[in-house]
C-alpha cells in the first residue's frame, strides 16, 4: 500500500515538473517573439520620422539658397539712391560670401522635443551642379562624336582630365568606354547613375553621391555624381563653385573660410580667368594658373550665374537614419517694384 502511494506521488511530481518546464518554454518563446516583434513594429515609425526630418533638411537648404541669392535692401539713403539698380558684381559677391563657407560642407542641426516638437537631428550638404561637368554636353549627337573631337587642344585637355579621374579612382578606360557608350546609345543620359551600367564605371557604385557615406573616408575619394551632372546644359565648370571631386581632380586645396573675404576683393561677375585667376581663385584654392592643366580656360565658365544646386539631407531619429538628395533650380522673377524674387523648385528627389 505504501509503495503504491510513493509511486503515485513520484508520478505527480514528474508531471508537475514537466508542466513547469513547458510553461517556462512557452514564456521564453513569447518573450523572444515580443522582443523581436516590438522593435520590428517600431522601425517603420522611426524610419518614417527620420524620412520627414530628411525632407525637412531639404527645406532648410532651399531656405538658405533663397537667402543667399535674394538682394539685400540697405537701410537709409535717399529715395533716389534706393531706386538705383544694385551693382551686379556687389550682389554676386555678397552671395558668394554667404555661399562659399557652406558649399560642399556638412551642416548639422540638433532638434529638441520641447522646442521643435521632436528629438532628433538633421545634416545637410549643399553642392552646386554648376561646379560639375554636364555629361550630355560632352557629346555631339548630330555627328556622333565628342564635341571637342576636332579641337586638338581641347581633346588633349579632356583626355588628361579623364586620366586624372582614372588615377584617383583607381579605374581605367573611362574615356574610351564613355565614347563607345555614347556612339551605341545615340541619345542623352537621363541620370548620371546610368554610367554604372558600364563595367569601367561600376567601381563608383559605392561612391555615387558626395557626402552620402556616414563613415569618414580614410582617403578622400571621387564621387560619380560629384564629377558629372545632367542638369546645367553648360559645357563649362564654374571655378567659384567647383565640387569637392573637381577640387581633387585639379589638385586644389579645400576652401578655407578665413580667406574668403580677401579672395573676393577682386571679384567680378564676369572673369577672364587667364588674367584674373592668380588674383582671385588662386588665393582660394592655393593653386596658381601655370600649375593647372594646359588649356583649362576652355572649360572654365567666365560668368557667375549659378542656377542648379543639390542638397543631400540626412534625418536622424532614435538611431534610425534616412537620406534624400534633392536637385534644386533657382528661378528669378521681376517684381513690380523692380526687385527680384528668388524661388527654389525641386527638379528631382532621390530617396537613398
At 137, list the grid cell.
554636353
Looking at residue 89, its pLDDT comes to 86
**Which residues, 6+ apart, have CB-to-CB distance to 210 below 8 Å?**
104, 125, 127, 223, 225, 226, 243, 244, 245, 312
| Percent share of the chain, pLDDT over 70 | 87
At 240, list the grid cell.
567659384
Pairing label, strands 133-134, 228-229: parallel
Q: Which residue(s) pair with 343 in the sheet?
A: 331
Helix (H) or strand (E) holding 316: strand 308-317
Looking at residue 103, its pLDDT comes to 95
Please provide the average confidence, as pLDDT, over all residues in the chain: 88
Assign 336 a pLDDT band (cuts: 50, 70, 90).
confident
Q: 311 — phi, psi (to 5°)? A: -130, 115
What is the DSSP annotation of 99-140? HTTTBT-EEEEEE-HHHHSS-EEEEEEEEEGGGSEEGGGGEE
Assign 17 a pLDDT band (cuts: 50, 70, 90).
confident
Residue 341 CA to residue 344 CA, distance in Å, equals 10
pLDDT digits (tens, 9 = 90+) for 157-210: 999 999 999 999 999 999 999 999 999 999 999 999 999 999 999 999 999 999
Residue 254 CA to residue 240 CA, distance in Å, equals 12
Residues 110/121, Cβ–Cβ less than 8 Å: yes
pLDDT top residue among 27 and 195: 195
Q: Kindly report the pTM of this predicted structure.
A: 0.84
pLDDT digits (tens, 9 = 90+) for 213-267: 666 655 668 999 999 999 999 999 999 999 999 999 999 999 888 889 888 998 9
Looking at residue 80, its pLDDT comes to 54
Residues 169/175, Cβ–Cβ less than 8 Å: no
What is the DSSP annotation of 241-289? G--HHHHHHTTPPPPPGGGHHHHGGG--SB--HHHHGGGTHHHHHT--G
CA atoms within 13 A on the CB side of 122: 23
Residue 151 CA to residue 153 CA, distance in Å, equals 6
Residue 39 CA to residue 95 CA, distance in Å, equals 46
Other Cβ atoms within 10 Å of 276 Cβ, number: 18
Amino acid at each position: 500500500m505504501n509503495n503504491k502511494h510513493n509511486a503515485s506521488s513520484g508520478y505527480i511530481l514528474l508531471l508537475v515538473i514537466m508542466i513547469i518546464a513547458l510553461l517556462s518554454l512557452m514564456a521564453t518563446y513569447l518573450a523572444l517573439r515580443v522582443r523581436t516583434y516590438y522593435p520590428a513594429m517600431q522601425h517603420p515609425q522611426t524610419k518614417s520620422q527620420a524620412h520627414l526630418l530628411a525632407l525637412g533638411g531639404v527645406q532648410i537648404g532651399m531656405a538658405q539658397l533663397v537667402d543667399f541669392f535674394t538682394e539685400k535692401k540697405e537701410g537709409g539713403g535717399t529715395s533716389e539712391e534706393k531706386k538705383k539698380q544694385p551693382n551686379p558684381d556687389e550682389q554676386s559677391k555678397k552671395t558668394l560670401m554667404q555661399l562659399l563657407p557652406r558649399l560642399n560642407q556638412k551642416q548639422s542641426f540638433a532638434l529638441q522635443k520641447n522646442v521643435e516638437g521632436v528629438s532628433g537631428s538633421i545634416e545637410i550638404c549643399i553642392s552646386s551642379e554648376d561646379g560639375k561637368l554636364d555629361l550630355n554636353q560632352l557629346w555631339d549627337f548630330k555627328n556622333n562624336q565628342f564635341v571637342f573631337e576636332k579641337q586638338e587642344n581641347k581633346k588633349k585637355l579632356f583626355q588628361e582630365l579623364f586620366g586624372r579621374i582614372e588615377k584617383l579612382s583607381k579605374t581605367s578606360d573611362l574615356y574610351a568606354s564613355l565614347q563607345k557608350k555614347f556612339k551605341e546609345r545615340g541619345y542623352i543620359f537621363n541620370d548620371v547613375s546610368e554610367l554604372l551600367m558600364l563595367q569601367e564605371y561600376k567601381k563608383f557604385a559605392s561612391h555615387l553621391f558626395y557626402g552620402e557615406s556616414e563613415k569618414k573616408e580614410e582617403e578622400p575619394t571621387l564621387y560619380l555624381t560629384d564629377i558629372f551632372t545632367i542638369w546645367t546644359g553648360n559645357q563649362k565648370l564654374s571655378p567659384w563653385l567647383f565640387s569637392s571631386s573637381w577640387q581633387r581632380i585639379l589638385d586644389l586645396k579645400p576652401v578655407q573660410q578665413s580667406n574668403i573675404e580677401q579672395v573676393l576683393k577682386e571679384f567680378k561677375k564676369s572673369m577672364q580667368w587667364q588674367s584674373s585667376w592668380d588674383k582671385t581663385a588662386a588665393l582660394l584654392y592655393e593653386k596658381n594658373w601655370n600649375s593647372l592643366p594646359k588649356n583649362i580656360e576652355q572649360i572654365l565658365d567666365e560668368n557667375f550665374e549659378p542656377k542648379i544646386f543639390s542638397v543631400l539631407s540626412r534625418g536622424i531619429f532614435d538611431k534610425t537614419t534616412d537620406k534624400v538628395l534633392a536637385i534644386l533650380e533657382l528661378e528669378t522673377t521681376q517684381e513690380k517694384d523692380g526687385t527680384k524674387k528668388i524661388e527654389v523648385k525641386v527638379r528631382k528627389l532621390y530617396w537613398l
